[in-house]
Structure formats: C-alpha cells, structure tokens
Amino acid sequence: MRVVISVDMEGVCGVSSWVQVSPPEFGGLVNAGEYARARERMTLEAAAAAEGALAGGATDVLVNDSHDTMRNLIPELLPDGVRFTSGNDKPLSMVQGVQESGVGALLFVGYHARAGSVRGPLAHTWNGFVRDVRINGLSTGEYGLNALLAGHYGVPVVFACGDDVAMAEIRAELGEGVVTVAVKEGLSSFAAVHLHPREAQRRIRERAEQAVRAAGRATPYTTHWPAACQLSFNHQARADAAERVPGITRQGAVTVGWESPDAYHLFQTFRMLAKVAEVRLDG
C-alpha cells in the first residue's frame, strides 16, 4: 500500500507564533533562526510519520510539503527511499499525490485548528482573511477540505497530529477512527504547552504505524453531493470580488456561496475564490 503524508507547520511541536512559520523572504532576517528550527522540527515529525508508515506496512511513502511556499522540508532528514514534493503550484495543493494509483492512506502532520477556533494556536483556514468555510452547513478547516478531496480519489485519512484543538475537530468531523496525536495543548491563539520534540516524534512514529496497519478498514471521507458551499471573509470587499466569479452568489455582507457536484470542484472553486479575494482594502 502506498501512503501520502501532508505536512503543515503551524501544528508542529514548539510552534506558537507566526514568526516561527514565516520563511525569511517574507519576514526578514529577524525570524530566520526561529523559522529554521521550526522547519527542522516539521521535517522530523514528517520523518517520524514516514518511519511509522513504513513499519506499518507501507510500500511507498510520499511526503507532501503543505506549508506556505511549500519549500520547507529538509530532504536529508527524511528516511531513505521516501519521496517528497515541493513547490506551491501543485494541482492538488496540500494533498498532492492522493490521485496516484495504489494510495491507500493519507496522514496529516503539523495540522492546526480551523479559523475561529478557541485556544487553537495559529488557528486559521488557508490564509488570514478566510473567516469560515461551510460544506452543507458544517464549518470545517483545511483538514476537512483536504479529507474530502482525498475521499474523491478513494483515499481515507487515517492519522493526524498537531495541536489538541485541531485533533478534537478532526475526530469530530472525520470520525473517531482517525488516530491522532496532540503534540501541544493550546492556551490561546499564540501560546501552547508542548511535549518535548523527541517525545512528540516518538508518539507520532508509534501511532502512525498503528494507523497504517489498520488502514484497510478505514473509510474515505465524503458528504452529500451536490454540496452547498459557503465561504466567509474578514471584509466585505473580498466578498465583492468573489461574487463576480460566474456561478458564485452573494449570501451576506462577507459571505458567498455556490454548489459543487463533487469534492474536486469544491476544492478548486475554494482555491480560486481565496485567490480572487486577495484584494487591497485601501481602495
């Protein structure tokens, strides 16, 4: 069985500030040291999940860099034989690889809570101006969008690690069958109590192996199709821009909506609207 690991950074052990997850080209040299350390821990957590997956019976592991520029992984720290993707213009973005033949499981590493979550460190959905995403009335985050897209290709999410708020949200939406590891406990938007990084990696390795061994019994995530979709922003000007896209309707001051026949359409429409809504707010 082939396995894909989607690795983000905000949910990684030791991370609780935007400074730590911002590549130097965007944050200046002041944060270079903190980003470098977070980048290393991100890679080591991905490596731990990959080692666990291989021990659990995976015949091929693809690690998909899913944070920001998607050029964060340090390849030399990954296990020998593991493949990885980098670059932020991937057709399936955070879950690139699930469309490949023979993929039987998707693992989430470094995942965070959805926008608006209470005490979820660095909680957000996709970017800083998406306030909420609802699919058939259910508020979701990146984990839900990615799980639905993976489900479109018949691939179930079997494992996730990140902050405790995100892990509770993932179990509530995707089901208690998803094996989770909370590597930190959120205290606020910018504070958390963390495990020691080596202990976090040990638990990730152990639980990822358990999850992959049981992957044959997992069910891909889905919803009712066609799905009613809503996207809310942090400013009405973003909704102004988004509603000009054909097929999109205005549903409130900061909210637009549309109907999707399947998860691929839903995901790509969401990505397009998030990009269209990148407008200046000073006129």
Give the domains, in start order, of the chain with CATH numbers: 2-123+143-217 (3.40.50.10780), 227-276 (no CATH)
- Is 10 known as a binding-site position? yes
Q: What's the whole-model pTM score?
A: 0.97
- Is 8 known as a binding-site position? yes
SS (H, E, C) the chain: CEEEEEECCCCCCCCCCHHHHCCHHHHCHHHHHHHHHHHHHHHHHHHHHHHHHHHCCCCEEEEEECCCCCCCCCHHHCCCCCEEECCCCCCCHHHCCCCCCCEEEEEEEEECCCCCCCCCCCCCECECCEEEEEECCEEECHHHHHHHHHHHCCCCEEEEEEEHHHHHHHHHHHCCCCEEEEEEEEEECCEEEECCHHHHHHHHHHHHHHHHHCHHHCCCCCCCCCEEEEEEECCHHHHHHHCCCCCCEECCCCEEEEEECCHHHHHHHHHHHHHHCCCCCCC
The reply to whether omega before 226 is within 30° of 0 (cis) is yes
Looking at the DSSP assignment, which residues form a beta bridge with residue 83? Answer: 62
Per-position pLDDT tens, the chain of length 283? 999 999 999 999 999 999 999 988 765 555 778 999 999 999 999 999 999 999 999 999 999 999 999 999 999 999 999 999 999 999 999 999 999 999 999 999 999 999 999 999 999 999 999 999 999 999 999 999 999 999 999 999 999 999 999 999 999 999 999 999 999 999 999 999 999 999 999 999 999 999 999 999 999 999 999 999 999 999 999 999 999 999 999 999 999 999 999 999 999 999 999 999 999 888 7
At 225, the amino acid letter reads W
Q: What are phi and psi of 82, to 5 degrees?
A: -80, 135
- Is 164 known as a binding-site position? no
Q: Which residues are catalytic?
A: 124
- Is 173 known as a binding-site position? no
